[in-house]
Chain A
Amino acid sequence: MSGRRVALATWLFLGPGCLIHAAPAAVPQPWQRPYGGADATGAVVLAYWGFEPGAEGADASGRGRALALRGSSRFTGGGVAGGGALECFGSGADRLVGCGAMAKRHPSLSPAGAFTIEMWIKPKPELADTKSVWLLDKKYLDYRKEGADGDRDYCLKLVAASGGRRRLVAQLGFGKDSADFGSGAFDLPSGEWAHVAFAYDGAGVGRFYVNGRDAGGSSHPGRGAVSPGQRDLVIGDRIGSNFSAFPGWIDGVRILGRAEVFRTGRLEIDRGSGRWVFRRMEQGASFGVRVCNQTGGALSDCIAVLGIESVGLRKEIRVGQMGLDEVRQIAVDVDTSLRPERYRGSVVVTGMAGETTHRAELPLELVIVPRPSPGRMPVVMWGTGDLPRIKEIGFTHQVMNLADFSAIWDADGPVESLSGDRLTEAGKTLDEHLAEGIGVVATLSPGHWLQDNAELGPKFGRVDRGGKIGEKPSLCASFSEVSAFARRVGESVARTFGGHPALEAALINTEVRDGTRLCFHPHDLEACRRATGRDVPDLVKDRGGVRYATLRGFPGDRAVADDDPILAYYRWFWREGDGWNRMHTMVHEGLKSTGRRDLWTFFDPAVRVPPAWGSGGGVDVISQWTYSYPDPIKMGQACDELFAMAKGRPGQRVMKMTQIIWYRTQTAPELPKDESKRVAWEREIPDARFITIAPDHLREAFWCKVARPVQGIMYHGWGSLVEAEHRGYRFTNPETAKVLAGLIRDVIGPLGPTLRDVPDRRADVGLLESFASNVFAGRGTFGWGHTWVADAHLVLQWAQLQPEILYEETIMRDGLSGFKVLMLPGCDVLPRSVVAQIAEFQRKGGIVVGDEFLCPAVCPDIVLPSLARTGAPDKDKAELQKRAAALRAELDPFYRRFAESDNPDVVIRCRRTDEADYVFAINDRRGFGDYVGQHGKVMERGLPSKARITVRRPGAVLYDLLAHRELEVKGGSEGVEFDAALGPGEGRTYLLVPRRIAGVAIDPVPESRRGGRAEIRVRVADQNNGCLAAVVPVKLEVRDPDGRSAEFSGYYGAANGEMRVGLDIAPNDAIGKWSVRATELASGRSTEAQFEVIP
């Protein structure tokens, strides 16, 4: 087919994708009726089964490939043209008996080059219950299998696609391997005949047709003819074992010895791969319509007419001549200044074949969506769910694959990151997300792809000192080719999808550093020499470090020189030596290469490494996933590790993920033998390996995250959150999704912009996670929160302290100024400069809390003995809280908390900006419930708590930001006290400001014209009539004269009590009086104003 692009400018447009062929003058096509003559018996026909009554199993081509029925299948009437058909019955659960009809093997059924398989199919309703059924099989082994049995001939399957649609998949065997060819998704209504065909050109290109329409295809360059096999040919099922028959009727099966082109006989129009959803005020937006001449002859005087009645648009576009099979792309500019809504219209194309007029019409629906509120806090589904439920729960983003790494690897420079049908599908999916207001996170793991690639993985794998590749794949990310590839991936995705506003973020090389290993390529050795000034020390054997106990002459006080060769090597290895961080940076920079500054990149899990800066490289955001058991407040510990990591790269932001899934083995391992003792989910899914997080844990974990200045939150485990197709993740608790939806609705929605804007309160309690102790003593958490180092953080939380996790690098760079208490858990070995800083800190009055492992060079003021968990969560928590109480008692004479509760189960955390403090209270009181608690591994049931909260801030006015009201406090010279009653796992957010909120005001909004701009300024005033020196949550509602909500209505954080919102009044916005209502969500005060929009 030939293709030409016709660029036309109009001021708007768009449309959905279904292909409509207005029917006049369709030219009959050969495939539309039973074949006869040469079409049935010509030399090119290898076999043709028409199932005609009386000759049902006969080969109508005359080649003698007669069919014999198998199993329950039968020949019936009711064929596509009123003749006979082959009826098949689905295999259902019984996959041991095959059906369909079989033709004996024959060499002529293995085409020597190009070939086509076509047939008519009419599915039964039970097709909907199948994932994959066989339409025709001469291959048997639908996977790569060397030897005489495998990788030969062909098969054609019908597989399930999203939305109840179907795809065709052909697999061809080429002797040494096999290759899949796939169609795009299409509708296949049950009870209706459809013509399906697969045409292979004998040179690697396969195309599919459904009812004469091109349904996409695949290309495998370098392939030739299929390798001939020795198997029989089966229609309607697999040849043998693990049967999966097509449930329905089959007619007119023909195998041709050439690649046939099928046509509809009409002028066709569709929207191709163009967009139909746009974000308001988007620049350079355009829509594409694809017109294809499938009439079977040339057309003249082709004209496309676009019309959208609601905006008075009618645009005529002269297309001119169109040759046979010619395709034209018509580009139409879109005016995105229009009011956000759906604009319905049509495009009609006509063309003349002599006196005959061909006509096609495509109903169109342009969608212009409002821009998201600027401060919206991302709530990311780290995975992929169905859009309606993703939106219903409140997620703002989900993950999507947007790159064909193989194609990008093969290219010399940036290329389209997807092509063909995958590109089209991806474009549609991005549009769907944009229409629903859901951002897409592209998952880009070129490192995984290379590592797992059978050919490239070993070539670029890590090697040991002897140059030997390890058994387990582990990519050496330091190869220059790997870096270049990483950048190319980013550039290719940016070039292909960077212009689509639905693409908002990218996840880069997730979970790669767990498997990193030392590497001894010449380039690694040279890089080490360059960075450290030395060769790799001989004692360095693996990534786990070198234990000090094995080192003769190691300093007795375990204060190691800062430039100790082993320490220096590992510091280099983890920061840059293993190459991953640079590789992340390359992908990140590639993604930014087209200027999309708003697109944010992230890496996770970023702290599955020793405590050394640099993890994630140059990405915008680092994140980490955490399982909430046994103690959900460990979520805060993991969060604080991320902030410690981000300190190494100023400007890098932190988000935090909670695992929706729980490991069964960690939470409810033993299925009770006595069935009566099983709880509901154990009865229903006894073999579940991953179950749903308990709702109270999710709630508490949520509060632990938002109590910290995270810029977004994430969740993984769609299959455990809702009833959905699962891959091991099982849905065992329906309450969890409700809790999450409620938290997003009630907390993230109204308070998200504020929470993103309020920094942490400056910490005066530090907790050092020592890199040297990781290297020389194997300490650390690796982001898992399993070890004493992590539990020490929990102890501090329960002791009503708010620790900042420090890395040695932080202390070396910033010192310990401002800190009053320093906890040193598992700090067996410390660099000398850190020891010196600690000594100086103590000389200035700082209190050091150590454990029994502490580096002897440091004399602690308080000893907090470590705890080895027993696995009994109640006892472990009690022991840790006992230590917290003891620590609190020892610290009390020397350290005064800014805020605390009198109940250790109510954990307090504070953030601060300007004159405002934000105090979070989190209820950690829990017991064993009847979800998993009966197994004694996790206390999953939250219990209500009460606490008296003290904030040492005299004279403060207190607001409950969830209840939107002022609370009474008991004041004193030292501060304020108030009582809190919290439900299971519940959290609260309080705002303390020096002066009471007096009111909220909207400045007068000047009269605005259509197409003009109106600025709204809202001020939250205090008693002194100044703006409140705080970030105040504000709800803004802007409505047009018809009561419709306008763009930028939503929630804001008014910094310094003030916010400005610029409204772009659309050319088609309503004229008249618009209303603006602003409600500050601290005291609940609101005000309203009006302004006029004129023509």
Chain B
Amino acid sequence: MGRLILVVAACLFGGAVRGANSGGPAERRDALLKAALGGGVEEVGRGLSDENLVVRRTAARLLAEAGASAEGALATALGNTDSLVRRTALRALCRLRPERALDWARKGLGDEDPAVRRVAVDWLTGVEPRTDNVTALLVKARGDGDALIRDAASAALFPFQRENVSLRNRKDYDHDVRIAQAIPLPESGWEFRLDPGDEGHLKGWFSGGGPGWARIDVGKTWESQGHAYDGVAWYRLTFKLPSKPGKLTAVDLAFDGVDEAAWVWLNGEYIGSHDMGKAGWNKAFQLDITREIRWGGENVLVVRVFDSAAAGGIWRPVRVEVLE
């Protein structure tokens, strides 16, 4: 073990070396594979300092497979200059020592490389039962700059999930799509409720009804209507639609802008979300509502909005769009 640590240290502090075996990268890699077959953790560990990244990653993988005997080397590998080595090491360590995994995951979430952070969030999402510490880290990950990490954390924290792709964005639809009819929803007549505890979705606010809702308009921010607030808030609108058009292929609910993220229910059914993090505040989006829309009747639209800073709310128009 001591020699292994020395070798790893050489990698960390002395820069990459060619490795103990002579020859090209392929030969050095082959040597590692052979060494691993013989249980040569020490020799494999030397591969972590190889100048060739594939050789180095091979070493990390072989150490991960070696199990407990390679724990020290793997812990040190968390500081390797190659993110893939760090990723492999982090994952192996979380598996080897679950009792220490929270610390490693916390460290991993701070890694500069999203590949490493993803391993951390992947591990966190799988922890059962979920402790407050785990939840706190997932909440932090929900604000990550990397979409995959953000999505994974959000999915773990938010119980409503649905993939919703508008017909116009479907890559598997072999026809042109046009908007045959656009039905603007009113800008006034909406209801509004703050949700500072982020619990409305757990209390069923999406099902419509219930007290405590105030009037609000869309097409402008909630700040401009007297709500100096950042966090989660809910919008609700009851609206009627005419009878079903004769020809339609799909129906979208089109939002021109929600600052900054939105989760949408229609007639009590969860429709989908728009969550690109902060970058989503001015991005139009559409959600398919073909199955949930009620033509010739009353519809209840509920939108949960999250705004992390500055202005927030449904600040641009909303429409029902009939697609052909």
Contacts and interface: CB of A to CB of B under 8 A. Distances in A.
B114 A852 contact: yes
A616 B251 CA distance: 32
Contacts of A860: 57, 84
A554 B126 contact: yes
B199 interface: no
B84 A784 contact: no
A978 interface: no
Interface stretch (B3-11, B150-158, B185-193, B223-231): B150-158
A608 B172 CA distance: 8
A778 interface: yes
B91 interface: yes
Interface stretch (A4-12, A311-319, A542-550, A584-592): A542-550
Contacts of B60: 859
Interface stretch (A168-176, A274-282, A842-850): A842-850
Contacts of A894: 25-26, 29, 54
A484 interface: no
Interface in B119-137: 119, 122-123, 125-128
Nearest to B82: A863
Nearest to B87: A859
A893 B155 contact: no
A832 to B, nearest CB: 15
B174 interface: yes
A549 B156 contact: yes
Contacts of A356: none
| A556, A860, A894: most-surrounded residue (chain B CB, <10 A) | A556
B208 to A, nearest CB: 22
A853 B146 CA distance: 12
B151 A556 contact: no
A860 B56 CA distance: 11
A1023 B251 CA distance: 71
Interface string B23-42: 01110011001001100000
Contacts of B64: 859
Nearest to A844: B33
Nearest to A666: B176
Contacts of A856: 91, 118-119, 122
Contacts of A689: 176
Nearest to A669: B176
B123 A556 contact: yes
Contacts of B172: 514, 608, 782, 784
B100 to A, nearest CB: 16
B148 interface: yes
A968 interface: no
A6 B177 CA distance: 59
Contact of B152 (A549, A784, A862, A893): A549
Contacts of A677: none
Contacts of B30: 845
B274 interface: no
B236 interface: no
B61 A893 contact: no
A427 B114 CA distance: 66
Given A778-B163, A856-B119, A860-B84, A663 B125 contact: no
A861 B54 contact: yes
B53 interface: yes
B58 A861 contact: yes
Contacts of A558: 122
B123 to A, nearest CB: 5
B247 interface: no
A841 B85 CA distance: 19
B269 to A, nearest CB: 11
B125 A556 contact: yes
A555 B114 contact: no
A1044 B259 CA distance: 81
B233 to A, nearest CB: 24
A665 B33 contact: no
Contacts of B58: 842, 861
B95 to A, nearest CB: 8
A134 to B, nearest CB: 28
Interface in A1002-1028: none
Given A778-B163, A863-B115, A893-B25, A852 B126 contact: no
A52 B193 CA distance: 87
B299 interface: no
Nearest to B28: A893
B54 A847 contact: yes
B282 interface: no
B88 interface: yes
Interface string A535-553: 0000000001001011011
A890 B65 CA distance: 23
| A554, A786, A852, A894: most-surrounded residue (chain B CB, <10 A) | A894
A1086 interface: no
A354 B171 CA distance: 77
B308 interface: no
Contacts of A663: 176
A787 interface: yes
Contact of B171 (A787, A842, A863): A787
Interface string A773-790: 000001000101011000
B52 interface: yes
B161 interface: yes
Contacts of B152: 549
A859 B61 contact: yes
Contact of A544 (B52, B118, B163): B163
A550 B114 CA distance: 21
A287 B316 CA distance: 75
A29 B65 CA distance: 99
Interface in B165-199: 171-172, 174, 176
B104 to A, nearest CB: 13
A514 B171 contact: no
A538 to B, nearest CB: 15
Interface in A801-847: 839, 842-845, 847
Contacts of B127: 556
B54 A862 contact: yes
A784 B54 contact: no
B57 A861 contact: yes
Given A556-B122, A861-B54, A550 B161 contact: yes
Nearest to A895: B26
Contacts of B128: 552-553
Contacts of B155: 547, 549-550
A550 B25 CA distance: 42
A853 B148 contact: yes
| B26, B114, B118: most-surrounded residue (chain A CB, <10 A) | B26
Contacts of B148: 852-853
Given A555-B126, A843-B33, A894-B29, A859 B57 contact: yes
A511 B143 CA distance: 43
Contacts of A890: 53-54
A824 B259 CA distance: 36
B246 to A, nearest CB: 13
Contact of A893 (B54, B163, B171, B176): B54
A131 to B, nearest CB: 25
Contacts of B33: 843-845
A39 B123 CA distance: 96
Contacts of A552: 128
A553 B36 CA distance: 33
A843 B36 CA distance: 9
10 contacts: A552-B128, A782-B171, A787-B171, A852-B114, A852-B118, A853-B148, A856-B122, A859-B64, A859-B88, A861-B57
Interface of A: 511, 514, 544, 547, 549-550, 552-558, 608, 663, 665, 689, 778, 782, 784, 786-787, 839, 842-845, 847, 852-853, 856, 859-863, 890, 893-894
Question: A-B pairs with the 6 shortest C-beta distances?
Answer: A556-B126, A549-B155, A550-B161, A893-B25, A786-B171, A859-B61
Given A549-B152, A856-B122, 7 more contacts: A511-B174, A549-B125, A784-B172, A839-B65, A861-B58, A862-B57, A863-B84
